[in-house]
Amino acid sequence: MKKKLLLTSVALLSAVLGCNTVTAESKDNSYYETYEGTAVTTESTSTNISSNETSNDTTTSELSSSSEKEMSDKPTTDSINTGSSSSDDSSLEEKDSSSDNNSQKLEENKDENNDIPEKDLPSETNHKKGQYAFKPIGSRVKRAIAPDNVYANDGNLPGKDFIDVASWNGNISISEYKLIKSYGVSGVAVKLTEGTYYINPYAESQIANAKAAGLKVMAYHFSMYTNQQEARDEANYFARAANQFGLAKDTVMVNDAEHPSLINNAQQNSLTFNTQLKANGFFNDALYVGRYWIDSGYIDTAAFNKNRVWVAQYPYTPTVGMMWNNDHGAWQWSSQMFFPGLTNYQNRAFDMSAAYNSFYGSSNTVDLSKYFTTNPKKVILRASDKVYSDTDFKNPVGTVAGNELLTVDDIEYSSNGVPRLKISSGFVTANKAYAVQVTSNIEDYFVSNPGKVILLGTDSYYNDYDFTTKIGTQLPNEIISVSAIEYSNSGVPRLKTPKGYLTANKKYVRKVADNIDDYYTQIPKNVVLKGNDIYYADVDFKVKNSVALKDEVIQVTGLGYSSTGVPRFKTDKGYITANKRYVLPLVDNISDYFTENPSNVILRGTDSEYAEPDFKTKVGTIRSNSFINIVGVKFSSTGVPRLETSKGTYITANRKYVVKVTTNIANYFTENPKRIILRGADYYYDDYNFSNRIERVSANTLIDIMSIEYGDDGIPRLKTAKGYITANKKYTVAVPDSVVNYYTESPKLVVLKNQGNYYSDRDMTIKSGTAYKNQLNPVLGIEYRSSGLPVLKTSRGYISAKKTDLIKVVDNVIDYFTENPEKVILKGSDYYYKDADFTQRVDSAKAQTINDVIGIEFSSQGYPRIKTKKGYITANKKYVIAVTKNISDYYSAPVKSIKLTGNDYYYSNPNFTKRIGSIPGNTEIKITGIAFSDNGVPRFKAEKGYLTANKKYVKVVRQ
């Protein structure tokens, strides 16, 4: 380990110095140090080494510069084996300088936060352990006398507990290690690194083979630091190499503090180095130092825990009874140990050390496998626990809650070697039974209780936080109350809920807004907005689609949540708010209600109207089938639609009780017309939906209307005693109450009381001729004007049907004269009357007396009367005969006697239907009277019968 001296005998030393041999009569009680200014104790010295001998503090002369060069540390010349060849050393140096793949690998894997600043490399980059441990600082003095070579099979030696090796020892096979172990060696300290620029290229195989041979492996670093930052950098470099070679955190990690560059502040810088090792998780830090530095005060080993200090001090002749430096952890007592049985063992010297207090074992009895020894970065504690200001847990300064995410800054160790987790507020336990390292992607999970969440997809509930057994299924977008965050044994957060454990992965679960109670979280079938709003293309309301109108019924197809956990209603047009302040869910049976303004409605039954949509204040009653004008649809606080009337009141919108009136309602009767006529023939139906015909009804039939009812299609129907008929004004005409003054059933035959007009249209707007008073008008039928008043249709045109304008002629009018006969005679005596209604007689009317007729008039009952100069007489053909038109050709006044101008006959009656005797011409015949035939021809009445009164055939004899 220390520099191997080339001088192995006093004779060789004398040859080099050119002086006499020095003998040491009693070496056993002396120790060998080659520090300048330190006495080499010998009980008997026979000869001074040189004439340059000075005081007692120096017993050796300085070597020549050539000797110093010979004793230099360079690998090409530094071999303690007298039989070593230059070619072997050269080969080894070449390996060290050109094949340091591990060093390159370490440099490539430097931690970004532990980058080591570059500094000038020393002229020697692979120093041997002990190279300076036996030299005073700045000395050029060399050993005058070398310690004895020792052999492993010698039983009279101090403890042979462990060796140390470096690249100088080359590759050591497993079998070679086993042979070394067979001599009682139980451990090996392997050089890993030097400064921040060198890694032992043999370290990997030296470690692996030693472990395979069953040896305890330690590691050491040859330090070159000159300040605290360099000390930290070198410790980081050393720790990275240890990690690279797979060394456990409880490995003894030795700071080889011997180089002269350390001397100015060796104590503090070395403490910094060892502290930084702990910061890297290597808690079994140790210090290698020469006895001279301890005695000179450069290093106070008490500050390092003496049990962890390895002291170098070589006796001339080591023996079994020596227990030097046993107040420390280990003692390096030889660099000249040879192991018989190794190939070429005489040329392969090893450093040998004795261990005290289990130096290379753990410094405590803690089972570190149960603790974190490398920084887990983030952990949680299974239960709440105390935080301490110190690693020995003596001073509590606070508490952390169970399952609270903690960031670990470092791992430090208690005075008895128990790892502690350093957090921002102090130290907490590192025991894995209580602390759990969380998953590396913890940022993908909820680590504090989100309160309420929803799943983004269907997932399962589990019985525990390790998801051992599924116990249920959870659908997406349903609000879940989270009672706590707990962590699986693998450090994955879980959501604890009343139904079991769920994933806490933000990819699958989303925290809902804190004010979630202000939102609807169940999916209604339909909603309305309380004011105009916007449809959005996305659930985060970033892209607008279109305007969503107030009171527009919106079908909800789903529920989504924004990235901030705010519920949104999904619709066919996009996303809208689910905030209770702005949106109202409707009743599930919304299809049973009107949700758009029906404009006009009727109620199926009598119902109430209210002052507000919530139907709290009744303000009136509306009868069934009443026509109601609607101005809009409003909604109650429970989402029930209401119809707002033009009066500002509210009625039900339930289709069961209210019917939307057809849009062309203006074409229909909506109030009972009481009486109507049909423009054309139609039918009576059994119900207001016109399901079945039950009877035909003729056009212009006057029909009494009981009420108006509405079909399910909102079309009004007229209810009559015989069934339902259309209320369409195109096919029906409302008849006014004044119809009682008109003929509504055909009078068959009428006469006008006064002269009027005939019309070509039933509304009597177009005249087509004169209608004369008392002119007989056969009635073809009754039709109705647009005003609903009847008119009489005649062959000459339309005339009024008003009773005051007409006289309905009696049905037997054929028995009466209806046209002026000009002259008539009464068949029997009668009377003249003052008026056509024969209300007052004015004179007697003799039978067979010719009456000149002024005209025909009708009584108010429709009876024709013959108007004469003397008054009115009957026009009944049974009682009156129209005189022949050529009455002047006849004698119509009575005479006493006549003569026929020729032969003729007597007849049995005035109608000359039967002859009863002949009359010779020129026979004077006594006349008893005048009688008229049914066709108004006068006849002379004689004793023997009736005979002609024609002046052509008769001559009056006597007047």
Host domain of residue 657: 592-661
Question: How many CB atoms lie under 10 A from the CB of residue 142?
Answer: 25
| Per-residue confidence (pLDDT) for residue 401, from 0 to 100 | 94
CATH number of the domain where residue 327 is located? 3.20.20.80
Q: Please check whether residue 99 lies inside any domain of the structure.
A: no
pLDDT at 586: 95
Structural domain ending residue among the three candidates 388, 406, 437: 437
Q: What DSSP letter does each residue of 902-915 carry, written as one string?
A: S-EEEESSTT--SE
Q: Which of 825, 860, 883 is the last residue of a domain?
A: 883
Section 258-287 average pLDDT: 92
Instruction: Give yes or no: residues 164 and 292 share one domain.
Output: yes
Q: Which two tokens stand for residue 821?
A: 């006969």
Beta-ladder partners of 734: 676
User: Left if phi > 0, otherwise alpha if psi is -120 to 50, otherwise beta: which for 14?
Assistant: alpha
CA distance 344 to 50: 37
- Are residues 838 and 708 located together in one domain of the fold? no
Answer yes or no: do 761 and 822 share one domain. no
Are 387 and 415 within one domain? yes
User: Which of the listed residues 835, 867, 883 is the one where a domain comes to its end?
Assistant: 883
Per-residue pLDDT reduced to its tens digit, 296-305: 999 999 998 8
Q: For residues 154 and 251, state if they share a domain.
A: yes
Q: Are residues 721 and 839 in the same domain?
A: no
Q: Closest by alpha carbon to 351, among 380, 373, 322, 330? A: 330
Question: Per-residue pLDDT averaged across 594-615, rounded?
Answer: 94
Instruction: Please report whether residue 244 resides in a domain.
Output: yes
Which tokens in the block code for residue 408?
């670990």
Mean pLDDT of 741-746: 90
Q: How many CA atoms lie within 13 A of 179 on its CB side?
A: 14
Q: How much is the pLDDT for 148?
A: 87
Helix axes 228-244, 101-108, angle to 10 degrees: 110
> How far apart, in whole angstroms, are the C-alpha atoms of residue 385 and residue 404?
10
Confidence at residue 420, expressed as pLDDT on a 0 to 100 scale = 95
**Residue 303 shares a structural domain with residue 239:** yes
- How are the residues of the chain apportioned to helix, strand and coil, as percentages rounded to the nearest 5? 15, 35, 50
Examine the pLDDT at 399 and tell me if it is beyond 70.
yes
For 89-142, how does the pLDDT look when each residue is reduced to its tens digit (9 = 90+)? 333 333 333 334 444 344 434 343 344 344 445 545 677 676 676 554 433 233
Does a structural domain hold residue 176?
Answer: yes
Q: What is the DSSP string of 919-952?
A: E-TT-EEEEEEEEE-TTS-EEEEETTEEEE-BTT
pLDDT in tens, 329-370: 999 999 999 999 999 999 999 999 999 976 865 545 578 889
Contacts of 268 (CB under 8 A, 6+ apart): 228
Identify whether residues 157 and 290 lie together within a single domain. Answer: yes
Domain annotation covers residue 223: yes
Say if 12 falls within a structural domain: no
**Which residue carries 């049905």 as its tokens?**
811
| Full DSSP string of 309-367 | EEEE-EESS--TT--TTTTSSEEEEEEEEE-BTBTTGGG--EEEEEESTTTTS-SS---
Instruction: Name the token pair of 133.
Output: 């441990």
| Number of domains observed in the structure of the chain | 9
Task: Say which range, 268-282, 408-422, 533-547, 711-725, has the weakest mean pLDDT.
Answer: 408-422
Residue 879 lies in a domain: yes
- Tell me the percentage of the chain whose pLDDT exceeds 70: 84
Pairing of strands 162-165, 187-194: parallel
How many angstroms from the chain centroid is the CA of residue 587?
22
**Is 182 in the same domain as 232?**
yes
- CB-based contact 351:168 (threshold 8 Å): no
Amino acid at 836: A
| Residue 145 lies inside a defined structural domain of this protein | no
Q: Where are the alpha helices (DSSP H) in 213-339?
A: 228-244, 266-279, 291-295
- Mean pLDDT to the nearest integer, 762-788: 92
pTM equals 0.49
Q: How far apart are CA 16 and CA 67, in angstroms?
A: 7
Q: What are the tokens at 730?
A: 């195109």
pLDDT of residue 250: 86
CATH of the domain at 489: 2.30.30
Q: What CATH number corresponds to the domain at position 836?
A: 2.30.30.40
- Give yes or no: residues 428 and 566 share one domain: no
Cα 32 to Cα 63, 159, 487, 726: the distances in Å are 17, 18, 62, 138
250 and 263 together in one domain = yes
Three-state secondary structure call for residue 602: strand
pLDDT at 19 over 50: no
Q: What was the pLDDT predicted at 305?
A: 85
Q: What is the DSSP string of 713-745?
A: TS-EEEEETTEEEE-BTTTEEEPPGGGGGB--S
| pLDDT classification of 38: cutoffs 50, 70, 90 | very low
Is 159 contained in some domain? Answer: yes
Find all residues with CB under 8 Å of 733, minimum gap 6, and list them: 676, 677, 678, 679, 784, 785, 786, 788
Instruction: Report CA-CA distances (Å) from 898 to 471, 657, 958.
Output: 144, 98, 7
- Give Cα 409 distance to the centre of its chain: 39
Dump pLDDT digits (tens) for 482-520. Answer: 999 999 999 999 999 999 999 999 999 999 999 999 999
What number is the average pLDDT over the span 171-199? 97
Do 551 and 524 share a structural domain?
A: yes
Q: Is the pLDDT at 687 greater than 70, yes or no?
A: yes
Residue 366: the pLDDT is 72
